Structure 1
């Protein structure tokens, strides 16, 4: 029988082969994988890579591995990211908007004022970026001020997609360093960095497509480390920055104020929010960009964008208020959970870093699952807290949404059920085990 380190090396080799094999399915020049058949094969390969990844996670969690295993994990993570960095993005075109927003700001223009196709921005159009911007003729930018500041900084150093992708990978590097520090503080094996570093959805979302979620991940990791070091004000300020990259990280705030640490992180966070919004307020209400219309585009106003309601709609005719009822129920449940997380006393037998990341992972996973966006990369951030506080349901949700790169049934229940169904089973299984232990 192979040793655990050998098994990990073999699984790493398999993950590498699958990643490179998936790349060969892309038709050069195609804005997606290529034909529907190629897209289906591509997602099939990614699904197998998720299986390999989960086996690797099992090895990392169940065996005492030498320090050389951590070096292997990090080396392979870097290699895979470099391989994807050099490829053009083809699973999403969002990065072209990032580059465009950076160039708009470099020209001294508020990015929230105009849609890319507006004649006022005609002098900025170029053949490499502008033609590939999605929603160019009707949507102002949706990205919050911290993301815009990042786009502006990167845009002054590089006007290309590869430069923006490289900047996102640097943010990932910050996240990995913070995770290694958190693992060391918690007394956990550093090889568990594999949970983030080898996650296939993380790889494709950030190294290939350069999604801005990588910036949010880097900031959230910094915030977790600051909170673990009892730098509450700093943690609140950095978390606010993460929220103004992608609004979703706000859901983990209760984990940061557990134990009554409220006023300092709240004041610091509010200060950062005001400071980041201030330069863009000339757009007035337009500073929210495309966000108000995004919910309608995703079907959240009718309820069809929610997995549970989409399933119920196959059985009964939903009332017009179904989406509002669902939103209120989720909000009430999440408020109760947030209050419990913020006020409960942690066990003295558990490292504070584990408790912090477990609470953050629970809040993040439940909020993301409740919103259930159909874009795969929205789930990649869940791998971050799972490194320090491994949870089967959270790890599954952080990787399995690679399936969302295709939608064979063109509806929001059956195919997504392949992700949410197992996640629910894993969560219930963990809950039952916890009750039995009590």
Structure 2
């Protein structure tokens, strides 16, 4: 961790020189390998009960090491602080781009110059994230303060995981799958991504569902969805073996309630989201890993992205229906089944969207802690490679992440067909 931090040139908005960036990603790749060894060890070895405190102490130390550093792998946090200060001034954050003259009086030398897309993009963050930014903005207007708030969310997620592991009869030291995950550390402790809030809310929703609080689980999951839209894909896991209407109605109500304070912005309440897909190449298909690879062989037809999107939607819908309607297994603890289903849905949806920003994958470490599978564990950390792309395209380098993930899925599928595994409370389940 300290070695990777030392590679950053002070004042540089990324690591620094191309050579430093390559070395940096190499160091991160080594940390992922070391983490995978630790994960394998904790899943296969009987450790004393006191080991969990060592795991937590090391996790805290790593976070404290990264907290004081200015974010240098992403500048998103500057928008969080800005949105919080805009709301503190009584202004709807969806109404103006940061560079609009109407907000000139709010500009400061520490935050405003570092906001990305400041001159053309309205904020992209949904209402639950905005409420969080506003709350933090009432306490502090600094980047370090916002990072500290994200680490509080991260700590809440760890606390929820410890409870879920205990309820499942699993070793609590397995929390290192999340707490030591290099991608989680760099995404939350270094860059302070708002995904930490979404992860904390998802962890709370999992706990509520395990305790059969279906309506509350629906409310919290809806709030997580309005931090980062991706969590909505795990909803079918929450419906399996439970009530349908209560969580759906409760979730829909909270979504409406959270959007209500911002509706004065009209259609602009969606912010930069409609244009984001085009900027990322999703409209042409070049933003999708499979289509980017296909484009090396043949020119993509104009409707390739729509066909891909339809195929993914149908596949995810079929998977969601299968998970939501299957009976709960009697021999597997409820938290394990819930997290396994959530992990499958989350990993499939994230991999299908295949964003090229590393932090989008960090949330997969949450369900993988309670219900680990090799492919999900891999996808929760390996995208640290996305911090640099020496080929500057969307297929070859990302293939180092997606090809092994597909191989792990195939291997697990073949093993499941030949010899299905029973649940073991002290094992990897």
Aligned to 1:88: 70
Which whole-Å CA distance do the structure 1 matches of 2:394 and 2:13 have between them? 23
Aligned to 1:298: 280
Structure 1 position 323 matched with structure 2 position 305: yes
Task: Render the CA deviation track for 1:375-408: whole Å, top value 9, x for unaligned.
Answer: 0000000000000000110000000000000010
Aligned to 2:372: 390
How much does 1:346 deviate?
2.0
Structure 1 position 414 matched with structure 2 position 400: no
SS for the counterpart of 1:223 is: helix
Structure 1 position 197 matched with structure 2 position 197: no
Provide the aligned C-alpha RMSD in A. Answer: 0.6
Alignment of 1:237-256 (within 5 A): 237-256=219-238
Which whole-Å CA distance do the structure 2 matches of 1:260 and 1:146 have between them? 26
Which whole-Å CA distance do the structure 2 matches of 1:437 and 1:264 have between them? 38
Aligned to 2:139: 157
TM-score by length of 2: 0.97
SS for the counterpart of 2:381 is: helix
Q: Identify unmatched segments of 5+ residues in structure 1.
A: 1-18
SS for the counterpart of 1:67 is: coil
Aligned to 1:144: 126
Aligned to 1:98: 80
How much does 1:68 deviate?
2.0
Aligned to 1:129: 111
Task: Render the CA deviation track for 1:313-371: whole Å, top value 9, x for unaligned.
Answer: 11112211100000000000000000000000121000011000000000000000000
Q: Which runs of 4+ in 1 moved over 4 A?
A: none
Which whole-Å CA distance do the structure 2 matches of 1:154 and 1:73 have between them? 29
How much does 1:267 deviate?
1.0
Task: Render the CA deviation track for 1:45-88: whole Å, top value 9, x for unaligned.
Answer: 00000000000000000011112211111000000000100100
Aligned to 2:260: 278
**Residue number among 166, 173, 195 corresponding to 1:213 in the alignment:** 195
Which whole-Å CA distance do the structure 2 matches of 1:379 and 1:127 have between them? 32
How much does 1:21 deviate?
0.5
Q: Is the 8 A contact 1:32 1:92 kept in 2?
A: yes
Which whole-Å CA distance do the structure 2 matches of 1:53 and 1:260 have between them? 36
Task: Render the CA deviation track for 1:13-49: whole Å, top value 9, x for unaligned.
Answer: xxxxxx1100000001111100000000000000000
SS for the counterpart of 2:380 is: helix
Which whole-Å CA distance do the structure 2 matches of 1:140 and 1:105 have between them? 14
Greater shift, 60-69 or 389-398, is seen at 60-69
